[in-house]
């Protein structure tokens, strides 16, 4: 008998922005079952491998309202997330694992409060500012079929990561 490891996490391929699924709204999760847990586990491993600080389920081909963020060594799993409060403005470099090699200065709310469910279906609220707030907005955009380039006035604002000095490792990592 060949040994298998059904519980091992797996890296899933990250789709690029030309894939139609990244332009479609994802569906609400209604079943908080082992397949959701497997998806979240795989998304964490895939995001870390990339490496990145955030990943939405449609980026790995699953059209569900599921996203994961890891900022400052804190993992946040988001199921059916909604922004319920916003405040202020911020402008900083932003990238995306589905648009590899590029970043652009992108305007976002400085602070957001998000309501979501965890992998067991329990509702929670999370507040974010700075990069974490940016990642929350970026991932929830993904779940609505929106990419950060949609917030730019022109695609000419995109800068190649390799040609930019100001871009930090964290920014270049992409969300
Ligand atoms: Co992204």
CA–centroid distance, 142 to ligand 1, in Å, is 7
This prediction has a pTM of 0.92
Per-residue pLDDT in tens (0 to 9) along the chain, 175 residues: 555 555 677 999 999 999 999 999 999 999 999 999 999 999 999 999 999 999 999 999 999 999 999 999 999 999 999 999 999 999 999 999 999 999 999 999 999 999 999 999 999 999 999 999 999 999 999 999 999 999 999 999 999 988 776 666 555 556 7
User: CA–CA separation, 147 vs 139, rounded Å?
Assistant: 9
Give the residue numbers annotated as catalytic, written as ranges: 139
Specify the pLDDT at position 4. Answer: 57
CA–centroid distance, residue 132 to ligand 1 (Å)? 13
Residue 113 corresponds to which tokens in the numbers above? 């409060």
Neighbours of ion ligand 1 (CB under 5 A): 96
Residue 15: half-sphere exposure toward Cβ, Cα within 13 Å: 17
Give yes or no for a contact between 112 and 136, defined as CB atoms under 8 angstroms apart: yes
Distance 3 CA to ligand 1 centre (A): 36
């Amino acid at each position: 008998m060949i040994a298998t490891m059904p519980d091992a996490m797996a890296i899933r391929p990250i789709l690029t922005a030309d894939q139609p699924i990244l332009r479609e709204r994802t569906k609400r999760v209604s079943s908080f079952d082992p397949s959701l847990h497997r998806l979240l586990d795989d998304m964490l491993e895939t995001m870390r491998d990339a490496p990145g600080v955030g990943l939405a389920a449609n980026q790995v081909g699953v059209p569900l309202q599921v996203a994961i963020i890891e900022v400052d060594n804190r993992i946040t799993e988001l199921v059916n997330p909604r922004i319920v409060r916003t405040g202020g403005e911020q402008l900083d470099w932003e990238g995306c694992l589905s648009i590899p090699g590029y970043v652009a200065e992108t305007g976002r709310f400085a602070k957001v409060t998000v309501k979501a469910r965890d992998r067991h279906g329990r509702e929670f609220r999370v507040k974010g500012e700075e990069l974490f707030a940016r990642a929350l907005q970026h991932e929830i955009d993904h779940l609505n079929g929106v990419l950060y380039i949609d917030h730019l006035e022109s695609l000419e604002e995109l800068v190649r990561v390799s040609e930019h000095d100001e871009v930090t490792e964290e920014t270049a990592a992409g969300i």
